[in-house]
Amino acid sequence: MKIGIVFPQIEFGNDTAAIRDYTQTAEALGYTHILAYDHILGANPDRPEPWQGPYTYKNPFHEPLLLFSYMAALTQTIEFVTGILILPQRETALVAKQAAELDVLSNGRFRLGIGNGWNKVEFVAQNQDFHTRGKRIEEQVDVLRQLWQHELVTYQGQWHHIPDAGLNPLPVQQPIPIWFGGHADAVLRRVGRIGDGWLPNYKTAQEAQPSLAKLDAYLGENGRSRADIGIEARISYGDGNPDTWQPLLAEWQSAGATHITLNTMYLGFDTPAKHMQAMRHFAENL
């Protein structure tokens, strides 16, 4: 399995030197990829319209594609993964352009994880329809792949019209891999039909077994198998005990995971140095 690290967005701060040190330390320690979460806007939980969610306007988020562009210039081998980019709240052609540029700047070290999103406030603020996001995302994936693989594209869909135009430069990877995040049945069906990989959010492989069984069925319906996709699970650093990590890693590997990402957030690490210390401890004791 490939082992990466979650960039601790909401707990890291804005010190560019610390971001540099974190990125280069991750690569030096042998982590294969850095994964970053995505939110453009945070809502005020005290707004008149009822709202609830895990993040508010007080939680900082670096925009992942720009963040990765900075990280790409500091590194040589480590891969960058959005986990996930909320695709339906964005203009598709612009995402295609930004992703292609990042892929060029990183020399093909980018993997695009996407999802539908849950925060209606973000969609409203960006003039996007929250209620059609699931239907639109499939057409968006088609448009992205067309733009990444052809100099000129003529496209007429339900939500997209491209009148004989194209990107320049095209990405190094043609196309850039697209992985889906989420557990809904519709998401698993999409992975089975058009996904390059799946980003589950289960704590253990045992919890994921029903979804993995569904995924196998949907892959089979489309003449595909697990060999055609990747699966990236996430584990928590927890209390830093290697005896806790080893069974989790072995369980996920037995379940067919191709990637594991370590998360150091939500554990009380209040400085970049503490996150880096945890990252180093994990790598040295794995």
Could you give the CA distance from residue 70 to residue 24 in angstroms, rounded to a whole number? 12
- Give the model confidence (pLDDT) of 12-46 as tens digits: 999 999 999 999 999 999 999 999 999 999 989 88
Could you give the CA distance from residue 63 to residue 85 in angstroms, rounded to a whole number? 10
Q: Does residue 49 surpass a pLDDT of 90?
A: no
Task: Tell me the CA distances in angstroms from 33 to 23, 164, 216, 220, one per residue in order.
Answer: 10, 36, 26, 29
Domain 2-285 class?
alpha beta
Burial class (CB in 10 A: 0-12, 13-18, 19+), 223: exposed
Chain-wide mean pLDDT for the chain? 96
Q: What is the pLDDT at residue 54?
A: 87
Percent pLDDT > 90 in the chain is 95
Percent pLDDT > 70 in the chain is 100
Helix or strand run (H / E) with residue 36: strand 33-36
